[in-house]
Amino acid sequence: MLSDALGPLEWLARWHPWWVLLLTAVVFFDSNRAMRRISDARLLTSVTPKGPILKWEMAGTKKRMDEILEAWGPVGRQWAGRTLLIDVPFLFAYGAVLSLACTMAALYFRGAHAVVGKWVYAVAAWVAVLTAALDLVEDAFLARMLRPFEGDGLPRTMTAVSKTKWVFGLTLVPFAIVAFVLYLVGCPRECG
């Protein structure tokens, strides 16, 4: 029952999470490496000398967005669009890893009869999925802004979505680390 689910990937956490984590880690690192390769080779400019993708995500205004896109030129825009395609498996991978790790911890706490821990990690598992969904929304905004647009509305909204994604994602990382440690320590008798 969904209301009792300790995370969207609870069925995987009960099965054998390490294989799934390994597979998603490979996707995560490969797609991240591909995005960095494009970013470093095609998108570094005087306007975006460091972290061009992050600068693009945080542009916030039409003026700043236009500066970035103008510096990239038409070819750079095409490469930026390609990073958005590569970002899709990346966001699914990190969303799955964070969600699965938090679900594993929720199962651990359920087995330990620690109700607060169980629900904190169950909520975190769902927030991990929300984080990946926000990244997908951000990508849609970025793709739209590769074409002409008017006003600060799109960049402002996209930047708000991006900042929310980053806050959620960076908050979940320590949760995931604790989850892995708990899982390695060993599940209580009724875990999973």
How do residues 144-166 score in pLDDT, each as one tens digit?
Answer: 999 999 999 999 999 999 999 99
pTM for the whole structure = 0.90
Give CA–CA dist 107/180, Å, rounded. Answer: 12
- Which residue, among 181, 178, 171, 98, has the nearest Cα to 132 in the 3D structure? 98
pLDDT at 112 over 60: yes
> What are the backbone dihedrals phi and psi of residue 169, each rounded to the nearest 5 degrees, phi first?
-60, -45
Provide the strand spans (E) within 83-138.
Answer: none
Average pLDDT value over all residues in the chain: 91
Quick one: pLDDT at residue 1?
42
State the pLDDT confidence band at 60, using cuts at 50, 70 and 90: very high
Quick one: pLDDT at residue 166?
97
Q: Concatenated DSSP letters for 8-74?
A: TTHHHHHH-HHHHHHHHHHHHHHHHHHHHHHIIIII--SSSSS-HHHHHHT--SHHHHHHHHHHHHH
pLDDT at 190 over 80: no
| Domain residue extents for the chain | 2-185
Mean pLDDT confidence for 89-109: 93
pLDDT at 4 over 70: no
**Range name among 73-82, 90-99, 154-163, 178-187 with the lowest pLDDT average:** 178-187
138, 84 Cβ separation under 8 angstroms: no
Mean pLDDT confidence for 32-43: 94
Give CA–CA dist 134/20, Å, rounded. Answer: 22
Quick one: pLDDT at residue 187?
66
Give CA–CA dist 153/63, Å, rounded. Answer: 12
Tokens of 130: 């929300």
Quick one: pLDDT at residue 14?
76
* C-alpha 189 chain-centroid distance: 32
